[in-house]
Structure 1
Amino acid sequence: MKQNNVLLASLILIMSMSAFAKVDDLKQEVKIKAVSQTADIKNNQVIFFGPVEVTQGSIKIIADQLRAFSAEGESSKTLVATGNPATYTQVLDDGRPASASAKEISYNMASRTLTLKGLASLDQAGSQVRGNLIRYDIIQQKLIAESTGSGDDRVITIIQPESYQDDIKPGTSTDKPVKKQGSK
């Protein structure tokens, strides 16, 4: 019974991570593909070994390992995807792609916080934030990005002009060759 609770909790976590995805994604099944999995009932966790692929509608998580757990005596559930890097992609309601990558992608269900650690990158409609650590509070819609503070390691933010974002339509590529005037 407890193993079923852990499995159910892991699926709920994955579905919760999609809080800012397309509405239709939330109605889709969650599918986890892995090479193997273990359930550590004593420690209330499920670990999927990879490569691991999680899909729900347009949401896709790729990782080397995925761990779903809750701390002893707490109802707070956490999902941690690790990889070199682990990636998270989705299509937003407006049809534009969003993606994240880091060595570790963690989602805390109670605080509704997404944390990217290690070579973290968050990309939406061509604009990007990169740093060593990125935290996104889904409820308050607040983003905090940090660097290690050493050497040239800095938080980098790239914001595309509105005309760039208007030019990107769902399903189109920005890598099309530009036709020169007068050419056929």
Structure 2
Amino acid sequence: MFRARFFTACAMAVSFPVLVMAQSVDFGGLRADKTAPVEVTADSLNVNQESGQAVFSGNVEVTQGDMHMKAAELEVFYASDKRSEITRLHATGGVTLVSPTEAAEAEEAVYDVKAGTVVMTGNVLLTQGDNVMSGNKLNVDLSTGAGTMDGRVRTLLKPAGSK
């Protein structure tokens, strides 16, 4: 009787999505070279020299090495002492972050260039091959690929050989 319940519980754990509050994962594909140039293209650009801020709007695309990000709007923050040094990117309006092996979507994302971290918030959806994870906040260290998904995490893991 105990064995039957145990095996039933194990089968259910593999068959159904996993619901947890926080989950650490390896985002090996979501890595970036912090020293690589950051290229931004958009429909328009508004620069405020006093605040050291630039706002790209419309069909924004950001590339750094193998990492690509798309958004409706992107605020670029520069170092106060070096106007040519980007310190932070804040993307809003349906953000998509893509690497060669993974893709993530969210309502907004903040990329801290110096720290090498990306924090995506608002209906986050991460796809790694056939596996899918969703939550409210995704925090990734782009140097190591280590990350954490927080806020009512839902994970669908497909075992090898499943359809």
Q: TM-score, normalised by structure 2?
A: 0.65
The yes-or-no answer on 1:119 pairing with 2:115 is no
- Structure 2 residue ranges without an equivalent (≥5): 1-28
**Residues 25-174 of structure 1 correspond to what in structure 2 (within 5 A)?**
31-55=39-63, 59-70=67-78, 72=80, 77-83=87-93, 85-91=94-100, 97-147=101-151, 154-163=152-161
| Highest RCO, 1 vs 2 (Cα 8 Å, sep ≥ 6) | 2
SS, match of residue 99 in structure 2: strand
**Structure 1 residues 107 and 125, CA gap change in structure 2 (3 angstroms):** same
Counting aligned pairs with the same residue, the percent is 28
Q: TM-score, normalised by structure 1?
A: 0.59
- Structure 1 residue ranges without an equivalent (≥5): 1-17, 92-96, 148-153, 165-173, 175-184
Residue identity in the other structure for 1:60: H
Deviation at 1:40, TM superposition (A): 1.4
SS, match of residue 119 in structure 2: strand
The count of residues paired between Structure 1 and Structure 2 equals 132
Residue identity in the other structure for 1:65: E
Residue identity in the other structure for 1:98: E
Deviation at 1:163, TM superposition (A): 4.1
Residue identity in the other structure for 1:106: V
